[in-house]
Structure 1
Amino acid sequence: MNNVEVLSLEQAERWDELVYQSEHPDVYWLSGYCALYEANKEGKAQLFVYKDESGFVLYPFLLREVHTLPYLQSSQQDSDPKLYDIITPYGYGGPICSLGEEQDRKALFQAFEDAFQQYCQQYCIISEFVRFSPFLENEKDYSAVEPMFLRNTISIPIDRELDDIMAGFTAHNRNRLRTSFKANLKYRIVDYPNIDTFIAMYHQTMSRKDAQAYYFFPATYFHQMFQTLKDNITILEVYNEEEVVVSTALFVHMGKGVHYHLGASDPAYLHVSPNNAMMYYAAIHFKEKGYSFIHLGGGYAGNDSLYRFKKGFNRDEPCSYYVGMKIRHEDWYKELERRLNLESSGEVGYFPSYRNPELQVSVLKECEMGV
């Protein structure tokens, strides 16, 4: 495939040059961002590049080994090839391109999709899971993977006067901000490497919320973020008159966009609305830096309390977050289901089915029982 190039982190400089040349460059496509999840042992970071005379398509993903899954090894046969699947790193992603006009993109994406299918067949990539971008809406371009709506997300437009930004807040949110102002909460930027307060408060918040183990990112994750993303990452702290940090948040940014990535707060000070103050001060700070929007993300599950909190910062229509799932190698996908005795009900369940966490649990139970 002469029009195809697949880059790894060893070609990080070329990888990032291409991202900067795309129509809407964003931090989630940078090699440094994807490197975080390779270091977290979630797969090998790759950038699939399709290029022809009209332009190019970039598609970053994590390439994961399937044949090494412990509950599949007992059914391995000597003649089996090495099997893989791919997934978007935590956050948002999917294919982006260098073209602006919809008709031009359509032809380019069709050629990309044909080339990518050949690539998946050649390297036994049997399934694909895509986390599309709510702010780029790139699910509209990638017709090979049928998008599925997951949840709404919220974005604060900050390319306007402060009064106009505030006018987009709900009345309840503005009341909460008045509480913050009365408490004289202020903010500051945290310089690297002084990020221990953020890390500790973040882990405490995850424990308090009984978050899944995945979200307890180790300290090395945060230190690597500052080393690889450098100018594309900012930590804000909100503190009170006693210099106590009451809220902290990590933002990633590039081009026109800022993204609320991770945050935490001290529950002892929730009565002074520190998280409302955080979003307000973030809007002020990044507006002054020349950014156009802050994407806050959505809730934990649908339009829950977290989503409603974020919705207080923009009363306009929310963004739509889609994911995409595609079986790229039908024969091998079905073969793995057969070996694992998985029943296909025809309903959308865990995808890919052979990675369902319950399979790992069942293997551990069998080992404990001596089966």
Structure 2
Amino acid sequence: MTKVLYIQDKLEWNAYVSKAAEYDFCQTWHYHALDTTGTALLFIYENNEGFIGLPLIKRPIPDTVYYDLTSVYGYTGPISNFAMPLVPHSLITEFKSAFIKFLDDGNFISVFSRLNPFYEQTNIFRQFGGLHDNGLSVAIDLSIDDETRRKNYPKNTLQKIRQARNRGYLVKDEKNPQAAEIFTIIYHENMNLVGASKSYMFDESHIHKLLHTDEYDARILLVYDGDKPIAATFITFTNGIIQGYLIATLNEYRRYSPSKLITDSVCVLGKQLGMKYYNLGGGRGFKQDSLFNWKAEFSDLFLPYYTWRYIANPAVYNTLLYEQGIDENADIDFFPLYRSAQMCEHLYVK
């Protein structure tokens, strides 16, 4: 049985997510309801064994009768009532047939989905092809006691954390109405500094909505110098995994590294709440750059991060490239390639 759920189908969407053996906050109805880039949907294939679901965003391809599918910002990918390594081969095969029919019937040209590095979601897509190795994501194992974990930090990182404490910086876990406003101010200043595109300039209303839901636990942690908030992070707690969604520091305080203090504090909080891992993400574009190296100071646990890049209609895909004068073999890490003219909107990746 195949069904496609949309935002108006909140109860049924939530029911499938709650039945999933593995899921993160990015797959919830609430998170998809906040996306404004297209039409959010949850494709479901279900048989007597169980189900596979895939949350996606439907977008029209300008000046055509065609569409494509992408995923929300963050780590998404498929869900199932089975843990990913245990999904029956027969269920995957039937899911593939049903999903390809859905693509054909809906005039979809391509599908792009970010996968979750903690779940073996590549198991679902091997039959399709199109898996792409994006690099590595840095995760912190919270089963390690705090003292041992800190012994693995570089000497400079430990010094920065101690210095921040000696300056009297305090980390507070806040969910009051002012938290979203404070976070947004600090975050925007940081994004302007690194030259982030408009698509990453989340406004206060968006942060406030992300924060207030019962579908996952979201929190803002703020670092204070006296009464002044100087750094902030937006984190989520779902099924044992903390996602470091956003983090920022006021420019005038960057040299004091309060972000290192807040990262260590998240580890302590996560351990108290029974979390298993804290995912810091990768470098910009998931390259092993200075951002990646900063995150790697906290852990040497690196998880492979994949995306699924599937061309459903190669003929139309290549025609779109031809019409835009794009070489199908161009050395550009962007998918779908016919949208590469919009690449400037996607240059900053956490």
Using the size of structure 2 for normalisation, the TM-score is 0.91
Change in Cα spacing, 1:360 to 1:161, as seen in structure 2 (3 Å) is: closer
The equivalent residue for 2:106 is: 123
Query: Which moves more between the two structures, 216-225 or 332-341?
Result: 332-341
Instruction: Determine what percentage of the aligned residue pairs are the same residue.
Output: 23
Partner of 2:104, secondary structure, is: helix
Per-residue CA distance 1:212-264 (angstroms, 9 max, x = gap): 22111122211221344665210000112x22212101012211111011111
Structure 1 counterpart of 2:348: none
The offset of 1:318, in angstroms, is: 0.5
> What's the CA shift for 1:151?
2.1
Partner residue of 2:307 out of 313, 319, 323: 323
Higher-Rg member (1/2): 1
* Distance apart, 1:271 and its partner CA: 3.3
Asked whether 1:19 is paired with 2:2, we answer no
Q: Distance in 2 between matches of 1:341 and 1:276?
A: 46
Q: Which moved more, 1:206-215 or 1:340-349?
A: 340-349
Following superposition, the deviation at residue 125 of structure 1 comes to 0.8
CA distance in 2 between counterparts of 1:104 and 1:198 reads 40
Task: Give the deviation of 1:202 after TM superposition.
Answer: 0.6
Q: Distance in 1 between matches of 2:217 and 2:251?
A: 29
- Counterpart position of 1:206: 191
1:32 is aligned to 30
Aligned mate of 1:238, from 214, 223, 243 = 223
Contact 1:179 1:273 (8 Å CA) reproduced: no
Unpaired segments ≥5 residues, structure 2:
346-350
Offset of residue 267 of structure 1: 2.3
1:337, 1:353 within 8 Å by CA — same for their partners in 2?
yes
Q: 2:60 aligns with which of 65, 69, 73?
A: 65
1:344 aligns with 2:328: yes
Unaligned runs of 5+ in 1: 77-81, 362-371
Q: 2: distance between equivalents of 1:29 and 1:87?
A: 13
Secondary structure of residue in 2 paired with 1:10: coil
Displacement of 1:360 in angstroms is: 11
Q: Which amino acid aligns with 1:237?
A: L
Report matched runs for 1:151-230 at 5 Å. Answer: 151-194=135-178, 195-228=180-213
Change (3 A) 1:282 1:269: same
Shift of 1:62: 0.3
Is 2:44 aligned against 1:49? yes
Cα shift at 1:26:
1.4
Are residues 11 and 151 of structure 1, via their aligned partners in 2, closer, same or farther at CA, if it must alter by over 3 Å? same
**Over aligned residue pairs, what C-alpha RMSD do you find?**
2.2
* 1:368 counterpart residue number: none
Q: How many residues align structurally?
A: 342
- 3-state DSSP of counterpart to 1:61: strand
Q: Which residue of 2 aligns with 1:79?
A: none
